[in-house]
Structure formats: structure tokens, C-alpha cells
Structure 1
Amino acid sequence: MNVLETNRLMIREHSYNDIAKLHQIFSNPLTMSFWPAPFTLQQTETWVKSNIIRYHELGFGRWSVLLKETGEIIGDCGIVISEIDGKQENDLGYIIHYPYWHNGFAVEAADACRNYAFTELKFNRLCANMPYNHAGSRKTAEKIGMTKEKEFYNRRNRDIRTFLYSIATSQ
């Protein structure tokens, strides 16, 4: 994959060299407050390794999000194939470290990944799921053209009420 670039961001494949910085983000209780729990170092290592495997097997995965201006990793964004409410989906996800919230970085990264999914990967459908009370994630999905498809209780995330947003190429 080539690096995806936006006005302010570079989005590139994770590398093992990213583990320490990503762990600072993924282990932060505020940044990960909508996840089941902040990540342990082992979980961060597994996350990076799993995505590196995905790049080789599928040609996509979750990627590091960096500020163009400084090269600093501020989060993670990308697509994985996930089981969502009993169905395999192309799942777009985004995690931006809390000091960078409310600056439009999630929208910028998610929009670039959505475009990549439809133009390069030739996907017909893309989804995003988030806890019902994660207003920032819902707004990000809506700003990149997704609409709320349904609600379900997510066994993978504390069995909490979850919204599924989606977009298809016909939209």
C-alpha cells in the first residue's frame, strides 16, 4: 500500500517500531474509554502483528495515523474484516488519541480509508460500529457519508448497545 495522504495526515502501515507509541495511545484510559478496556502491552503487540499479517494476506488492515507536520503518531485507522452482529463485514475503525480529539483528524483519516476501500479495494460496502454513547464516532461516520443501519448488543464490547453505520457504493 502506498501511504495515504490528507491535508494534515499521513496514514501508513503499522511497523513493529510503532509499538511503543501506539501503546501510549492504546493504553490510555480516556482514549480507550469506549473499548472494553485499555490495551496491555501484549494486546498492542498483537494488534500490530495481526495488522502486519493482514497487509500480506488481504492487502489492507488498520494503519498508523501520523501528523504530516511532525511525523508523530496520533492514532490508528483502517479496515478489518470483523464479525459484527453475526455477519462478516468490512469494518472501518478509527482511534485518535484524546489530546487530538475535536480537530477533525478522525474524519480526515476515516474519509481517506473509505475512499481507499471503494477505489482501490473495490469494496461495495463498508461499515463502522460504535457504542451508542460515542457521539464523536457517530459524527465521524456521518461526516464521511455513512448512515445508521441498526442497533444491536455487542457481545465483543461488554454486551452494550451498539450502532452499526454503513455506506455502499450506490450511495
Structure 2
Amino acid sequence: MIVIETPRLNIRKYTEEDTAALFAILSDPITMAFWPAPFSSRQTEEWIERNIQSYITQGFGRWAVELKDTGRLIGDAGIMKSELNGSVENDLGYIIHSNYWRQGYAYEAAKSILSYALQELGLARICINMPADHAASEGVAIKLGLNKETEYRNRRNRDILTCLYSTF
């Protein structure tokens, strides 16, 4: 089921049938370089299961990002309740396969999801976090108009310096 449609993307709910295509993305070491480690097949299955459950309990989650013209899954984006710097936040995240970097897909997905979260879901505060050395992800947050709130050591991601951006 398509949740959001953009000029080039369909952003839709996951199904269990997405496991193989998502695993190809989340297991790629280049794509996942800013994460603690690439995902295993089981971690990918758990990711999908956790998000399907989140659709039921929260009304949102991370979604499949696919190219509108081909239907090819190229990434993952959406909002999860996550602990960021000691507080539970509405965490907007995006992972685009490295083959599709520098083409504006992360921004296109994130912009539409941010608008959906604020207008349709009525969420008051949205955060984005990324490693301090992840310039492309930070660029997306800045382009979206979010403000840098703080930097902190992220114990969930190798205790690396992490930037936290928010809508206020």
C-alpha cells in the first residue's frame, strides 16, 4: 500500500515479500557504512517485522522506497520512535542504496515524509540524527530546514559523535 507518492518515488508499507530486496540494500557495506554494521538476513526480517508492527501500534514506521517508473526497491525511509540522546523522539531516517546516491532520492523521500508527519500524522517534533562525519545526510537535514540541536556520543552506534537535528 502506497503511503506517499513523490514525482519519482513510491513510499509504501513493507510486506514480508520485501525481505530479499531490502536485504540486498541493508547488507551492502558501502550503503551501511554509517551504521554499526551491515544487516544480516535475520536482522532484515526483524526490521520489516518491527515496522509492520509499528504501522499497527503507532500509525507510522519506516517504509519501502521504490522507483515509481520501475518499482525497484532502492531504500528505506520513514519515522520510528527512537531513543536519541536520552529522549524518545520521532526519528526521521533514510537509507538509500549506494548505487542511487547523489541523485536527490534521500531528500525527495525525507521531504515528503516530513510533510506527511507534520500535516497528516500531526507529530509536533521530528528529529534526524546522523554521524558527525556523514556530510550527505547532514545536508539533507539542513536542506529540509531542520536546526542542529546538539552533538552527542551515540552509544547505539559505536559511541561515535552524532549530530541531532530537529524541527525546533
Task: Tell me the TM-score normalised to structure 2 length.
Answer: 0.98
- 2:51 counterpart residue number: 51
Query: Which residue identity does 2:141 align to in structure 1?
Result: A
- Tell me which amino acid in the other structure corresponds to 1:72: R
- State the secondary structure of the residue aligned to 1:156: coil
> What is the aligned-residue RMSD (CA, Å)?
0.9
2:70 is matched with 70
Distance 2:30 2:167 in 1: 28
Structure 1 residue 2: Cα displacement:
4.8
Q: 2:83 matched to 1:93?
A: no
Structure 1 stretches (4+) deviating beyond 6 angstroms? Answer: none
2:109 corresponds in structure 1 to 109
What runs of 5+ residues in structure 1 fail to find an aligned partner? Answer: none
Aligned to 1:122: 122
The one-character-per-residue Cα deviations of 1:18-71 (angstroms, maximum 9, x if unpaired) are 000000000000000000000000100000000000001111000000000100
Question: Matches of 1:163 and 1:11 in 2, distance apart?
Answer: 26
Gaps of 5+ in 2: none
Equivalent-residue separation in structure 2 for 1:6 and 1:86 (angstroms):
33
**Normalised TM-score (structure 1):** 0.96
Q: Which residue is 1:14 aligned to?
A: 14
The alignment of Structure 1 onto Structure 2 pairs a total of residues equal to 168
Structure-1 residue corresponding to 2:157: 157
Cα shift at 1:3: 2.4
Aligned-residue identity in percent: 55
Superposition deviation, residue 143 in structure 1: 1.1
Equivalence for 1:34: 34
Q: Secondary structure at the match of 1:29?
A: coil
Tell me the SS of whatever aligns to 1:3. Answer: strand
On the 8 A contact 2:2/2:10 being kept in 1, the answer is no
AA aligned opposite 1:71: G
